[in-house]
Amino acid sequence: MAILDKVFKAAMDLKASDIHVLPGEPFMIRRLGTMIRLKSQPLTADNCRKVILEILTPEQRKLLGKEMQLDFAYQIEGLGRFRGSAMFHNNGLSCIFRAIPGEIPTFEQLGIPDVMYKILENHQGIVLVTGATGHGKTTTLAAMVDYINSNHAHHILTVEDPIEFIHPLKKGAINQRQLGKDTLSYSNALKGALRQDPDIIVIGELRDLDTISLAISASETGHLVIGTLSTSGAAKTVDRIIDSFPPGEQNQIRAMLSESLKAVFSQRLLPAKDGSQMHLAAEVMIGNLSIANT
């Protein structure tokens, strides 16, 4: 058993959302938004490097050495899956892990408003899930995919970095592609997706201009595109998309959004009054001509 397996078990017993493995510090967890140091000895830089590399495959170690950072998924049988983000910095190698729920939660369990059911019935257009890092966008995205997968005989194509939730085949077909393993980039996967007969295209993160442009174009050609952006507030999302383009292209993008934008689902996770759990606070902006022209 890897050393980190024992740490993850202890973290899950404490209902942690994140585990931090840093040189010079004991193992740390985040629980209900608060950082907590576990009762362990501070890790030396060498020990920190060893416990992280221990759980990586040879291919992942090679990629980490080349890129100096790595996003990956790690699974422990009987416990769960974790998303890891490793990076080199001035003190050595560190890694932050996010616990992935064992089962894909439903809209009701997450507190997603019923209006999203209707929005996901669209056969084309773009739906954006937005919010700050660590506020549950990936989980919401997974719930949306699961709803479509459970209720419609569609071909769903996802591009993720890394794959967190594994979606079983239900009513339709689903293909999950992992960045760096199954495709070189989000934009490369989107270009290929248009030749792969998808009904639904899911993009883990709209992180660059090329990906955003291709996603909007795909949403205009008979596909429902669902993606995430790290923006706070629904209205700011539209501005963020338009402003990411050169000034000479912004009017065209604004016009395209007026036709294709179906909704922006903006979310935050807030602690309950008693501090026992986190609750979803959501804002849904329905796409229409006036919004796209702001």
Q: Which residues contact 35 (CB under 8 A, 6 or more apart)?
A: 20, 28, 29
pTM, to two decimals? 0.89
- State the total domains in the chain: 2
In this structure, how many other beta carbons lie within 10 angstroms of the beta carbon of residue 204? Answer: 23
On whether both 94 and 208 belong to a single domain, the answer is no
On whether both 94 and 116 belong to a single domain, the answer is no
On whether both 150 and 81 belong to a single domain, the answer is no
On whether both 150 and 287 belong to a single domain, the answer is yes
Place of tokens 């058993």: 1
Please give the residue range of the domain that contains residue 26: 3-100
* Domain boundary, last residue among 56, 74, 100: 100
On whether both 234 and 274 belong to a single domain, the answer is yes
On whether both 123 and 242 belong to a single domain, the answer is yes
* Stretch 275-288: mean pLDDT: 89
* Domain boundary, last residue among 49, 74, 100: 100
On whether both 157 and 272 belong to a single domain, the answer is yes
pLDDT at 290: 58
- For residue range 178-228, list pLDDT tens digits in order: 998 999 999 999 999 999 999 999 999 999 999 999 999 999 999 999 999
On whether both 37 and 128 belong to a single domain, the answer is no
pLDDT at 274: 82
First and final CA of the chain: distance in angstroms? Answer: 55
CATH of the domain at 205: 3.40.50.300
On whether both 88 and 121 belong to a single domain, the answer is no
On whether both 165 and 119 belong to a single domain, the answer is yes
- Band (pLDDT 50/70/90 cuts) for residue 275 is confident
pLDDT exceeding 70 applies to what percent of the chain?
98
Task: Decide if 228 contacts 205 (C-beta within 8 A).
Answer: yes
- For residue range 10-25, list pLDDT tens digits in order: 999 999 999 999 999 9
- For residue range 157-186, list pLDDT tens digits in order: 999 999 999 999 999 999 999 998 999 999
Tokens of 145: 């995919």
Write phi, then psi, for 24 (nearest 5 degrees): 85, 0
On whether both 164 and 278 belong to a single domain, the answer is yes
CATH of the domain at 39: 3.30.450.90
pLDDT at 17: 95
* Domain boundary, last residue among 100, 119, 141: 100
On whether both 114 and 84 belong to a single domain, the answer is no
Q: Of 189, 192, 147, 194, whose CA–CA distance to 171 is shortest?
A: 147
- Band (pLDDT 50/70/90 cuts) for residue 276 is confident
Say if residue 98's pLDDT is above 90. Answer: yes
